Amino acid sequence: MKKIVLTGAAGRLGSYLREPLLRLAQELVSSDIIESIGTLHPNETYVRADLSDLSAMIDLLKGADMVVHFGAIGDEAPFDAILQANIVGAYNIWEAAHQNGVKRVVYASSIHAVGMHKKTDFIGTDVPHRPDTYYGLAKCFAEDLASLYWDKRGLESVCMRILSCAQVSNPRAVGSWLSYDDLIQLVEKSITTQITGFSIVYGVSNNDRATVDNSMASHLGFKPKDNAEQFAEKIYSEEEKLDPYDQGAVCQGGPFASVELGHSGVATMKIANDKKVI
């Protein structure tokens, strides 16, 4: 592959993907809205661009074989903010990909597209959308956009519904953890699988207590290796009793399921800032 474009390259997950993506293409174009991402790898360039600017996205995707789309507001936020970065931003990526003849969009979707489903339902990739926030609603929009651009324009997508890609720090994460190594494997499989059409897959490690079912995404060959059970005893011994009538405890979306619309869900979680630095 000649060229891959990564959006959200300055973000926490983007920081783990830059080097692996360079192994899959001759050239990586990393992009984000911030001024600079610091030291670049050989064969990597950086382009500062706003996802809500269609002409900037059309320029960014020129000559790209695939785009790995991780740029977004990564939390619940007021609707206007989500509208620009996550909804208009998604449209701009798919439209720019179409206009440039890009083969596939590999997309960081989220469990929050289906976050109001119960954890005890062990949901598959075919359950109806049931967003828990405006943030989740934007992920639903992007997944439907991916479906539309496949059906009408032949642009492939893999929508990776990531659960919790962060250090395990709470009881929910014992089921929802996606390790960084498994994230990298998932993105690699999403790129190298020959035919994906429009695919949905859950981004979750091989956790004993996983709450989602990936059997309909087996064509991607994703075989996660890590298991959060190694953290279970310590996490459960530290936490207070969970309330079975709290949406945040019983729904797939965790705290996002109980937070007020427009208010941060991430602020209620203990997420370590362990961004990878070169």
Ligand X SMILES: NC(=O)c1ccc[n+]([C@@H]2O[C@H](COP(=O)([O-])OP(=O)(O)OC[C@H]3O[C@@H](n4cnc5c(N)ncnc54)[C@H](O)[C@@H]3O)[C@@H](O)[C@H]2O)c1
Is residue 254 part of the contact set for ligand X (CB under 6 A)?
Answer: no
Counting contacts by CB under 6 A, is residue 89 touching ligand X?
yes
What character string, x for contact with ligand X (CB under 6 A) and - otherwise, covers 68-87? Answer: --xxxxx----------x--
Q: Residue 233, class by beta-carbon neighbours within 10 Å (0-12 exposed, 13-18 middle, 19+ buried)?
A: exposed
Region of 45-53, 60-68, 187-195, 220-228 interacting with ligand X (CB under 6 A): 45-53
Of 22-30, 47-55, 149-157, 184-192, which segment contacts ligand X by CB under 6 A? 47-55
Among 92, 164, 170, 247, binds ligand X (CB under 6 A): 164
Contact region with ligand X (CB under 6 A), list: 10-18, 96-104, 115-123, 254-262: 10-18
- Token digits for 159? 């929508």
Give the shortest CB-108-to-ligand X separation in angstroms.
3
- Say whether residue 179 binds ligand X (CB under 6 A): no
Residue list 101-130, contact with ligand X (CB under 6 A): 108, 110
Under the binding rule (CB under 6 A), the answer on residue 200 touching ligand X is no
Cβ of 220: how many Cβ atoms within 10 Å?
A: 17
CA angle 121, 125, 126 (to 5 degrees): 90
- In single-letter form, the type of residue at position 102 comes to V
- Single out the catalytic residue among 16, 135, 180, 202: 135
Q: Are 185 and 214 in contact (CB under 8 A)?
A: no
Q: Is 10 in the site for ligand X (CB under 6 A)?
A: yes
- Choose between 33 and 40: whose C-beta lies nearer to ligand X: 33
Sequential DSSP letters for 84-144: IIIIIHHHHHHHHHHHTT--EEEEEEEGGGSTTSBGGG-B-TTSPP--SSHHHHHHHHHHH
- CB-nearer residue toward ligand X: 50 or 229: 50
Helix (H, G, I), strand (E, B) or coil at 150: helix
Locate tokens 């690699």: which residue? 188
# chain residues binding ligand X, by CB under 6 A: 25
E strand intervals along 150-226: 156-162, 198-203
- Least distance from ligand X to the Cβ atom of residue 48, Å: 8
Torsion angle, alpha carbons of 259, 263, 267, 269, to 10: 20
C-beta separation of 114 from 123 below 8 A? yes
| Interaction of residue 64 with ligand X, rule CB under 6 A | no
Q: Is 107 a catalytic residue?
A: no
Residues in contact with ligand X by CB under 6 A are: 8, 10-14, 32-34, 50-52, 70-74, 85, 89, 108, 110, 162, 164-166
Catalytic residue numbers, as ranges: 135
